[in-house]
Structure formats: C-alpha cells, structure tokens
Amino acid sequence: MSTAATETLRLPSIAFKSPLLRAASDEKLIALTRSGRDDAFETLVERYRPRLLGFCQHMLRSREDAEDVLQEVYVAALRAMRADDRPIQAKPWLYKIARNRSLNHLRRRSDVAVESMDAFEHRGAASSALEAVAGRERLREIVADVHDLPESQRTALILREFDALSYVEIADAMETTVPAVKSLLVRARIGLAAAAEARADAAAQAVAAGAATA
C-alpha cells in the first residue's frame, strides 16, 4: 500500500482494548467505529484478521501479498464504514472487499507468486513422521487442485469449506445469488473429485507399468 494512502487515512494503532469491546457484536463495533471509536475498529479487525488473511492467501498464493492486500482491505473498510450509515453485515461485507482487492492485486501482478503452505500447516499433526509426510503430500495435492479451479468456483469453495460462511453470506460476498453459489460449489466438488480420480488412475497405471517391467 502506498505511503499516500496511509497518510490519507491512517489505521488506528493497536492498543489495549476493553473486554467489553471483545464481547460486543459486529453491529455494535460498527456503530462505535462510526462514532469515532478507533478501538472498536481495531477489535473488529482482530476478530476477522486470521480468516481474512487465510482467504487472501488462498486467493493470492503468497503470504506477503496477502498481508499487503489485507492492509488495503482495512483502509477501504474503515473509509466505507465512516462514509455513510447504511447497514453492514460485517462478515460477508469484509469478505467481499477482500475478494475484490485480491482480484485487483492478481490483475496488477505480472509475476507468478510462490505458493505458500503456511495457512495449512496448523491443520493437525500426524502420529508418525511417515504419516506426516503422506499427509502433507495429500494436502499439497488438494491445495493444487483447489487453485486449479476457476476463480469463482475456488472462491465459493474456500468461503464455504475453510471459512464456514453460509450460502447467503457467500452470495453477498460474491455479489451473486444463493442458487448460483450452490451451482458453483457443485461444479467445484465435481472438479476436485475428477482431479483426484485422474491422479489415482495415473498412480495405478504407474504401478502396473512398474510391475510389467519387473
């Protein structure tokens, strides 16, 4: 994010926050933010940061790019939140901003980002070194399959399976309809199943070829 952008609208600095703010609803935090309470916006940011960062990283395949885009999301969210008093459903609204900013970043980027697995490493430890290696390999295959999906299918799948958004929230975030979201998810799952089946067939053929030459 450019220096000019941060000078135009500075994000509040992180400070100690009241436990009451952490327990407040999204709607209350938005109202307080609009009234000038920077600590309320900080609390909202902290509430959604891990999930938004993971989503941006899924989209961009780069932790560093995801961090940069997330700062743009915060600035855009704060500016929009204080621009008017329209009702906001925080979770789908923030995901919508994150998706749009990520897509803008992808359009600007000319080089290929290095795929990062950091967002997935915390998802369970295997009981042995062998199982851990096999588990990481399966995970890499799944992540690669997800990234090979068309953007709209990939986004819907990530929001549903990784971030547990409802169909309505996904529709709001993607600016589409619930039936369209369900259709995207069906096609995404069919695509993943087809990729897994093709990989299994290829492995079986390799084993058969090895046995034939033994």
Contact 52, 95 (CB under 8 A): yes
Q: Would you state the pLDDT for residue 17?
A: 57
Q: How far apart are CA 14 and CA 41, in angstroms?
A: 10
- Write the DSSP assignment of 26-70 as a string of letters: HHHHHHHHHTT-HHHHHHHHHHHHHHHHHHHHHHHS-HHHHHHHH
Residue of 34, 41, 42, 35 lying closest to 15 (CA atoms):
42
* Domains 8-118 and 126-214 are alike in CATH topology: no
Q: What is the pLDDT of residues 133-191, one digit of tens each?
A: 555 666 677 778 888 889 999 999 888 888 888 889 999 999 999 999 999 988 888 88
Q: For the beta carbon of residue 191, count every other beta carbon within 10 angstroms.
A: 18
The answer for residues whose C-beta is within 8 angstroms of residue 189's C-beta and 6 or more apart is: 157
Q: What is the pLDDT of residues 191-212, one digit of tens each?
A: 888 888 787 777 777 777 766 6
pTM: 0.59
Contact 8, 78 (CB under 8 A): no
Q: Residue ranges per domain, the chain?
A: 8-118, 126-214
Class of the CATH domain delimited by 126-214: mainly alpha
Q: What is the pLDDT of residues 89-125, one digit of tens each?
A: 999 999 999 999 999 888 876 444 333 334 444 444 4
Task: Report the CATH fold assignment for 8-118.
Answer: Rna Polymerase Sigma Factor; Chain: A (1.10.1740)
Q: How far apart are CA 64 and CA 59, in angstroms?
A: 12
Q: What is the pLDDT of residues 44-85, one digit of tens each?
A: 999 999 999 999 998 888 888 899 899 889 989 999 999 999
Instruction: Tell me how many degrees the CA angle 103-107-111 measures, rounded to the nearest 5.
Output: 120
Q: Would you state the pLDDT for residue 118?
A: 43
173-to-17, 34, 105 alpha-carbon distances in Å: 29, 22, 17
Contact 33, 81 (CB under 8 A): yes
Crossing angle of the two packed helices 167-174 and 90-108, in degrees rounded to 10? 40
Residue of 89, 104, 107 lying closest to 165 (CA atoms):
89
Crossing angle of the two packed helices 26-34 and 63-81, in degrees rounded to 10? 70
